[in-house]
Structure 1
Amino acid sequence: MPSRRAPQDAFIKKNFRTVWPVHLAGFTRLLVQLRKRFDGDLDLPLVLAVIGSRTQPEHWAVELMDLGIMTSGSVPKSRQLPINIQSVAEYSGIPRETVRRKVAILQERGRVTRAADGRLAVAQSTAHDLEDATGETIDYLTSLLMAFQACPPLDEPIPPKS
């Protein structure tokens, strides 16, 4: 069965040599920034990202429409979907005990809250606290967008590299 993304996949494969170096450079800068921000432990931002992405209701993107609102911590608190340590472990592939330790660290740093029933949520202040990493993400996405815009359409031949 063909992928529903077949045209996008074909476009990226055709333009891979243009897009890949931009992706690699931007993604590497982002990982370096996150590693610094989390004292060398890349599992911490991964656990935080899993909690954030897996607990947001379907309409959460509306809250992210304004970066200023998101990073000011004034995003209206909406009901988050439940997730616990076991679910984070299963989704991420990180062992449960490791996730438990990482969640404890994130709680100590005020990045994650844990309800009495074990439900995890990203603390509201986290977006503001990680604003520099968000800036790095914006730079990364901007670079990718510019690389994609520089690519010829699928029906045009790729010019030779000079």
Structure 2
Amino acid sequence: MRPFDAAAFRRVLGHYPTGVCVVTAMTDDGPTGMVVGSFTSASLEPPLVAFLPDRRSTTWSRIEGVGRFCVNILASEQHAVCDALAKRGGDKFRGISHRLSANGSPILDSVVAWIDCEVQAVHDAGDHLFVLGRVIDLEVEQPQSPLIFFQGGYGGFLGIVREATAPVR
């Protein structure tokens, strides 16, 4: 077996597109958020979603301390929002329009959809954490193309080529 090559790992997995979301929470110091590309549905009963933050993330530690969060699915035109919230430190929310959910988490303006959650569980996942959130509320804001990360760049979904004949499981 050859030694593990992290660059090859990233290159190969970069050929699989991922949606771009912002996980937000309202802390005592104001709104905070982090960009994630590892968001997925996890369960219908009970309704659970999941994402994988880097275990070194100081933003995640603040969100975990609140115990609730909102997943904001970015629209394909929201590159600037992604860039602003992906940076480290400073006031990430300067110039980012949002409102609060009934659960108190920031919902970003002009997102495709949002999913408001409470932290259900956090599990070790190597250099990341596996976070399960119990869905409290959710809504489609603007049914449009989501922001997608693919091969090191951002883009949008061009449209459905063929309707799915069976749900993805």
Q: Same fold (TM over 0.5)?
A: no
Return the index of the structure with the highest Cα Rg.
1
Return the structure number with greater relative CO, CA threshold 8 A, min gap 6: 1
Q: What is the TM-score with the length of structure 1 in the denominator?
A: 0.28
Q: What is the TM-score with the length of structure 2 in the denominator?
A: 0.28
